[in-house]
Structure 1
Amino acid sequence: MLRKGKLTVVGAGPGDAELITLKAIKTLQGAAVVLYDALVNIDLLEYAPNAEQIFVGKRKGCYAYQQEQINDLIVSRAKSHGHVVRLKGGDPFVFGRGAEEMEFAAQQGIDVAIVPGISSSLSVPANQNIPVTKRGLSESFWVITGTTKEHELSKDIALAAKSSATVIILMGMSKLKEVIALFMAEGKSEIAVAIIQDGTTKREKIGIGTVSTIEAKVLELQLTNPAIIIIGEVVRHREKINELIVQSHELETLEI
């Protein structure tokens, strides 16, 4: 079957413009059209100065385009313009609908490709010196959506709360009270929690607490979406590293 046009789904990384891959930059430079989401750093659009740039994201529940319209736009622009780049925050295959859009385009006779991105689920905690695994503390991690397609809390969170793994929840701020209740029911009120808003950007804010105190910290710091919730003792690594850095600086001062 003759195919016309191409779609490349590209991961833009977690927010810091420098955390995009070299392959993603080269792909943007060859784009005829760029369809980009709300969580994409708009500085990245400078890599595609000659491309038609269309915002198709959502902010606070307000959609520029419905998903069906985005799918149709991908196909129509691919057929009329050639190479369409669908630029998504983080990694497109981690709760990004990248796979769905590729399937739709392929069904319409469009060539498709994927350029993976640095997922916010790992890089945002790392940027705050929080490892998702650490020997002796956590042997695995869960990455879970806080809100399902039906706008309900994912049932996987209840399973994760029973484990000793680090739990990373994306898009879960509206369900925070329910999440906390699940961990409290498992007797984990003192497990460390971090909530990071606008991770890796200049607007980044972080709240640190425990399962029993994090809701108060959210109110105090007025933390909102977009944010990532990290639950696990690995969160305490951040404080330890920060203390070691301070001690190191104090020793350097004394030596001078």
Structure 2
Amino acid sequence: MKVYLVGSGPGDPELLTVKAKRLLESADIVLYDHLSSPEALRLARGAEKIYVGKRRDDHSFPQDEIGQMLIEHWKTGKHVVRLKGGDPYVFGRGGEECEALAAAGVPFEVVPGISAAIGAAAYAGIPLTHRDYASSVAFVTGHHPAAIDWPKVAGVDTLVIFMGAFHFPELAAALIAAGRAADTPAAAVSWATRGEQRTVTGTIASLAAQKIASPAILYIGGVAALSERLNWFEKLPLHGVSVALTRPLAQSPDTAQKFAALGAKVIEYPTIEISDPFSFDPLDRAIGELEKFDWLIFTSANAVQAFAKRLAVSPHDLRSLRAKLCAVGPMTRKALTDMHLKVDVLPAEYVAESIAAALASHPMQGQQVLIPRAAIARDTVPDALRAMGAIVTIVEAYRTIVPASGPAPEADWITFTSSSTVKNFLALNEPDVISRYKTASIGPITTETMRMHGIEPTVEANPHTTQGVLDAILHYHHPQG
């Protein structure tokens, strides 16, 4: 067993390496830093997580103690990951920790990450080298300006300064004193590769007169001026917009990725949690009688997944299924196609009311219909089917409960993708909290629930899908595009 020093990159979770992802998923213990990616930490689902981070005036543990902690955890025989922001060997004190491990005879492995210097430059449109501007690059740390040999580094074409936001006036004065022109192009990139990234451009002198948000990477040299033309990330249509998603990211990872791809800062704030039903007996009995059902209707992907789990532990398998399948919405259909099942009916509108209309052309008199669903759900669909002469069996497949999510986060938008997300949000927060957000509803039923509680949605999705929610928010910000 080894200790793994893993770089989590500059912040964008999709910049995490494949190897880092694999090691995090199998970790027993993760010791992580202040700038370690939260999304990377979520990959270590079963691991004990220990914060050992450092901020400018707040060191949770001395460096020597961190090294000793790695050694002691390794002795337990567990899979230990030391997770660092950026790259472990680029101003990450990875070398010191490896020295401690080597001195103790502890085997280790270093998994490089994308350095913040490289990630920030790429996302801010600053090529570190350029045939017309720069053929040399130097990295320095701005923590202790007096310790830097300024005459030695001042003439480098591209100078990259880590952790220099707080001391930049002092750094700028030292650079100018060492011979670098005050009007040399300069740029500061704060919160690089994340939805809140902000790039400030100017000259050494003009940046020194500004307050630079930390954490930031500073770039000095001709290439810094290129950011105004090449900064692709901050030109994304939702850059600077923060969106809180009320469904767990594990249930809708594509939604989070799509928002992030448009530049938004995505915040996970789950207001529902999927739990087992009070009893599996009704669902298990229905699975034991699958051959008798003519129709199987799913109104959510959660229902499909709950059904599949109980089918897997039963004496039966898909060979017992002779029913036609009806799914509400593309996510529910995808959950079924992932089981290699083809959907016979997909309503035109992705709401429960449209099921009756979609099935109206099918002979339903005397048809046996099974609906696995949440413990609490509206009876619109079963009532409509019974009116058409169907024999309807409803079984509880799962429950939605209020998670311990705490108070709502700071965000520009909050999305509601079901009535449960609305009710649970209100259960978690004071009534007036909702007034600080723009709100996005997935469809008319969710909107109705919002209005019942005095909330008028800012936008409503059409079609009534998570993609529709994203499109509605995008149209709000760019009505002409």
Structure 2: how far apart are the matches of 1:201 and 1:9? 23
**Number of the residue aligned with 1:167:** 159
Structure 1: how far apart are the matches of 2:87 and 2:146? 22
Offset of 1:241 from its aligned partner? 3.4
**Number of the residue aligned with 1:7:** 3
Residues 195-233 of structure 1 deviation map (CA, whole Å, 9 limit, x = unaligned)? 1111111222221111121123x23xxx23211110011
SS in 1 for 2:199: strand
Residues 12-68 of structure 1 deviation map (CA, whole Å, 9 limit, x = unaligned)? 001111111001111112211100000011111121111111111023411221112
**Number of the residue aligned with 1:29:** 25
**Number of the residue aligned with 1:114:** 110
**Number of the residue aligned with 2:176:** 184
Of 190, 194, 201, which residue of structure 1 is paired with 2:194?
201
CA contact (8 A) 1:146 1:153 kept: no
**Number of the residue aligned with 1:100:** 96
CA contact (8 A) 2:150 2:175 kept: no
CA contact (8 A) 2:91 2:141 kept: yes
SS in 2 for 1:188: coil
Q: Given the alignment of the two structures, is residue 140 of structure 1 paired with residue 139 of structure 2, yes or no? A: no
**Number of the residue aligned with 1:239:** 228
CA contact (8 A) 2:15 2:114 kept: yes
Amino acid at match of 1:178: E
Distance of aligned partners of 1:209 and 1:177 in 2 relative to their CA distance in 1, 3 Å threshold: same
**Number of the residue aligned with 1:225:** 214
CA contact (8 A) 1:33 1:81 kept: no
Could you say which structure has the greater relative contact order, defined with CA pairs below 8 angstroms and 6 or more residues apart?
A: 1
Structure 2: how far apart are the matches of 1:241 and 1:200? 14
Residues 57-86 of structure 1 deviation map (CA, whole Å, 9 limit, x = unaligned)? 023411221112211111111111422100
**Number of the residue aligned with 2:450:** none
Structure 2: how far apart are the matches of 1:129 and 1:123? 10
**Number of the residue aligned with 1:254:** none
For the pair shown, which has the larger CA radius of gyration, 1 or 2? 2
Amino acid at match of 1:197: S
Structure 2: how far apart are the matches of 1:164 and 1:155? 13
Of 52, 55, 60, which residue of structure 2 is paired with 1:59?
55
Residues 167-201 of structure 1 deviation map (CA, whole Å, 9 limit, x = unaligned)? 00001123212221133231511110001111111
CA contact (8 A) 1:7 1:102 kept: no
Structure 2: how far apart are the matches of 1:32 and 1:64? 21
CA contact (8 A) 1:140 1:166 kept: yes
**Number of the residue aligned with 2:67:** 71
Structure 2: how far apart are the matches of 1:26 and 1:57? 22
CA contact (8 A) 1:32 1:81 kept: no
- In the superposition, the TM-score normalised over structure 1's length comes to 0.85
Offset of 1:109 from its aligned partner? 2.5
Residues 223-252 of structure 1 deviation map (CA, whole Å, 9 limit, x = unaligned)? 232111100110121223369xx9xxxxxx
Structure 2: how far apart are the matches of 1:70 and 1:183? 34
Structure 1: how far apart are the matches of 2:110 and 2:50? 19
1:41-56 correspondence to structure 2 within 5 Å? 41-56=37-52
Amino acid at match of 1:215: A
SS in 2 for 1:158: helix
Residues 112-165 of structure 1 deviation map (CA, whole Å, 9 limit, x = unaligned)? 111011001111011111101100211111111112xxx44332333221x241
Distance of aligned partners of 1:242 and 1:125 in 2 relative to their CA distance in 1, 3 Å threshold: closer
CA contact (8 A) 1:144 1:156 kept: no
Structure 2: how far apart are the matches of 1:241 and 1:202? 17
**Number of the residue aligned with 2:387:** none
Among all aligned residue pairs of Structure 1 and Structure 2, give the percentage whose two residues are the same amino acid.
38
Of 85, 90, 101, which residue of structure 1 is paired with 2:86?
90
Structure 1: how far apart are the matches of 2:180 and 2:3? 48
Offset of 1:6 from its aligned partner? 2.0
Structure 2: how far apart are the matches of 1:90 and 1:191? 27
Structure 2 unaligned runs (5+)?
A: 236-481
Aligned length: 232
CA contact (8 A) 1:75 1:110 kept: yes
**Number of the residue aligned with 2:124:** 128
Amino acid at match of 1:85: V
- In the superposition, the TM-score normalised over structure 2's length comes to 0.46
Structure 1 unaligned runs (5+)?
A: 247-256
Deviates more, 1:174-183 or 1:108-117: 174-183
Structure 1: how far apart are the matches of 2:84 and 2:96? 13
Structure 2: how far apart are the matches of 1:132 and 1:213? 21
**Number of the residue aligned with 1:252:** none
